[in-house]
Structure 1
Amino acid sequence: MQVIGLCRFSYPAVGGFQITHDTIDDRRRYLYNRERLEERFRLFESITLPSFRAQTDEDFQLLIVIGDCLPKPAFDRLHDLTKGVKQIQIIQRSPDRHRKVMREVLNSARLNRDHPCLQFRHDDDDAVSIDFIERLRDVTADCRGLLERNTTVGIDYNCGYMARVNADGIRASKVHRPLVTAGLGMYVQGKSALTIMNFTHNKINRAMPVITYPDAPMWIRSLNGFNDSPQTRNNKLELTDLTSKDEREFMARFAIDQNTVRQVHSAV
């Protein structure tokens, strides 16, 4: 079954952000701010990419949507970082309505719309476990009857880490939270044009059945200076330095190396 992931990388959409701007030019200035882009690239390189490179099931696509106005140095840097990941395709789009563009991108990537597919969305500063794709595909065998009876079904892995990442390394807290973007997938029946971008991630359970797996940690959500979502709840989390055991788990579950993280985030 085809597995399609969608990640926007500083795409200047109309809508789609909780931080609002009056014009597209204002949004571009915010998204392409040098400090912000540098942080996104460092998180993307040290947190996001390692787990996708190491997926135990390599049969998936990750569509990275960028604006056709992304500054050339950033465009070149993104291509350089991703050129070794065969599943990644970078797609340039002009600014438009956020959900409209993302739905079009996902549906255009379907190889056969008569066949069902699995979809997920991903933020460019988060990580998924290295068996995320494998476990998404396992659901089609685990829950065959439920999938056959519903046009769409959510797949939620609600265990993961909230983390801050910088030149000192990673500080994290293990949590259980439902319907976090990084831990959420969706099954779509054949002939349906619905996509995971038709639904608000934390309200998807109002529109379809959702299968929840609460076992192994399946994602890392990074907390940083340019998070789009409000951080009031996250500011109360007690994050701690990774222990030696934690470091081994981060390597085993996410292919994230603490020393590499420090090196990337301390580069001048």
Structure 2
Amino acid sequence: MIPLLEPAIGICRFSFCGKGDWRSSRGATTPDEIDAMRALNAETLYASGRMALRFYLFENFLLPSLRAQSDKNYVCLVLTSDIMPAPYLSRLRTLCGDHPNLELVVSSETSVHAAIWPRLSELNDAAGRPLVNFRIDDDDCLSHDYVNELRRYMMRLGDIIPVGYSRSNGLVITKYAADDAMFVYQAHLPFNSMGTAIRVHDERTIFSFGHNALHKRFPAVVDNSGMGYISIKIDGHDSEPISMAMAHIRNSHVPVDAARAEVILSKWFAFLAEGGEPHYAALVRKIERAAELSQHSSAAVAHAAAKI
């Protein structure tokens, strides 16, 4: 695909085995520590149960949301490591090859910046200016109008550099084994990790900065319109489990019932349902399957880690 206009550039890490912002890599600072961390992560990242879950979430949430974008003028760079086992790499290559807006970047680098910058630099050079780039995780989901909203604001801001962007409203879904239930929340989370973007000069990307503090460093737009994302939180997720027992969650999350969820899903995430299935029913079915896979994933990761 050759974009007709200035494209937005997405960056998605898919089991990238390097030093990122996952908890397992935060303590690695020296070359030896980074090498040891990478070896450890290679065992756990590519455990069969974990990969089954990652591909399920990628194929059932993120990819459908990217295909459904009303504004197709974007490129999403899917970053992974050269040490990914061949069967998984082949599957990922096929998935990206079937999508005209996806490019697979396979790298031996240990930092997201070093791995992604050469390709992003080429895209910037082709455009003649720094392009807007946004981050998205492989288990998240964007609303069908995300790229349209992002480009609508950032294009109108013209040559203002640097400038950040966040679509603050979305749905957060939790399904923890300890809860024995699925909960849906309408969340207000400015500068969360789902779709936060920046246009910035020099050799920098959205991963050069902590997303939570982006608006404290640069001029920024908070887009409170509509719904921008779905964030899925299940067992084995690389973040602290959340609940309404936490004060900061009560301040930013509002429980949503099935009827309200159906309205939100039908308006911004209709692509999640097929063949006339109610949108909420489709969401429940997919989340329950993901939660089931997460139990196998946790067991596989624990087994792989025990062998090291």
Tell me, yes or no, whether TM beats 0.5.
yes
Is 1:256 aligned to residue 268 of structure 2?
no
Residue in structure 2 matching 1:140, options 151, 154, 162: 154
Residue 172 of structure 1, CA deviation: 1.6
Q: Distance in 1 between matches of 2:259 and 2:237?
A: 28
**Cα distance between partner residues in 2 of 1:56 and 1:5:** 15
2:136–2:193 contact (8 Å) kept in structure 1: yes
Contact 1:66 1:92 in 2 (8 A): yes
* Partner Cα distance (1:93, 1:14) in 2: 13
Structure 2: gaps (5+ residues): 1-5, 274-280, 294-308
- Find the aligned partners of 1:259 and 1:216 in 2 and give their Cα distance: 21
- Please state if 1:63 is matched with 2:77: yes
Matches within 5 A, 1:10-159: 10-20=15-25, 22=33, 23=36, 24-112=38-126, 114-142=128-156, 144=157, 147-148=158-159, 150-159=160-169
TM-score (norm 1): 0.84
1:188 matched to which residue of 2?
200
Q: What RMSD, in angstroms, separates the aligned Cα atoms of the two structures? A: 2.9
Aligned twin of 2:222: 212
Residue deviations 1:134-160 (CA, integer Å, cap 9, x gap): 111111354x3xx53x42100111111
Q: Per-residue deviation at 1:263?
A: 6.1
| AA at the equivalent of 1:45 | E
Q: Distance in 1 between matches of 2:110 and 2:140?
A: 24
2:182 counterpart of 1:176 = no
The structural deviation recorded for 1:48 is: 0.8
Name the structure with the higher helix share.
Answer: 2
State the SS of the aligned residue for 1:112: helix
The Cα offsets for residues 89-140 of structure 1, whole Å up to 9 and x where unpaired, read as 1111014233332334432333526324211011000011111111111113
Q: Secondary structure at the match of 1:52?
A: helix
Kept in 1: contact 2:71–2:145 (CA 8 A): yes
One-letter amino acid matched to 2:56: R
Residue 3 of structure 2 is matched in structure 1 by: none
* Contact map agreement 1:156 1:212 (CA 8 A) in 2: yes
The 3-state SS of whatever aligns with 1:64 is strand
Given that 2:185 and 2:256 are in contact with CA atoms closer than 8 Å, whether structure 1 keeps it comes out as no
Which amino acid counterpart does residue 272 of structure 2 have in structure 1?
I
Letter in 1 for 2:112: H
Contact 1:14–1:95 (Cα < 8 Å) also in 2: no
2:258 aligned partner, one-letter code: T
Distance, in Å, in 2 between the alignment partners of 1:224 and 1:124 is 14
What residue number does 1:7 align with? Answer: 12
Higher share of residues assigned strand: 1
Query: Is the 8 Å Cα contact of residues 163 and 170 (structure 1) preserved in structure 2?
Result: yes
Paired residue total: 261
Deviation at 1:186, TM superposition (A): 1.5
Cα contact 1:63–1:88 (8 A) shared by 2: yes
Tell me the distance in 1 between the aligned counterparts of 2:150 and 2:262: 25
> Which amino acid in 1 is paired with 2:59?
E
Matching residue's letter, 1:250: L
Equivalent residue letter for 2:13? R
Q: CA deviation at 1:163?
A: 1.0
Of all paired residues, the percent bearing the same amino acid is 24
Q: CA deviation at 1:83?
A: 3.6
Is contact 1:4-1:120 (8 Å) kept?
yes
Counterpart CA distance in 1 for 2:94 and 2:254 is: 32
Q: Which has the larger radius of gyration?
A: 2
Distance between the aligned counterparts of 1:205 and 1:248, measured in 2? Answer: 31
User: In structure 2, which of residues 210, 233, 236 is the aligned counterpart of residue 223 of structure 1?
Assistant: 233
* Distance (whole Å) between structure 1 residues aligned to residue 237 and residue 206 of structure 2: 21
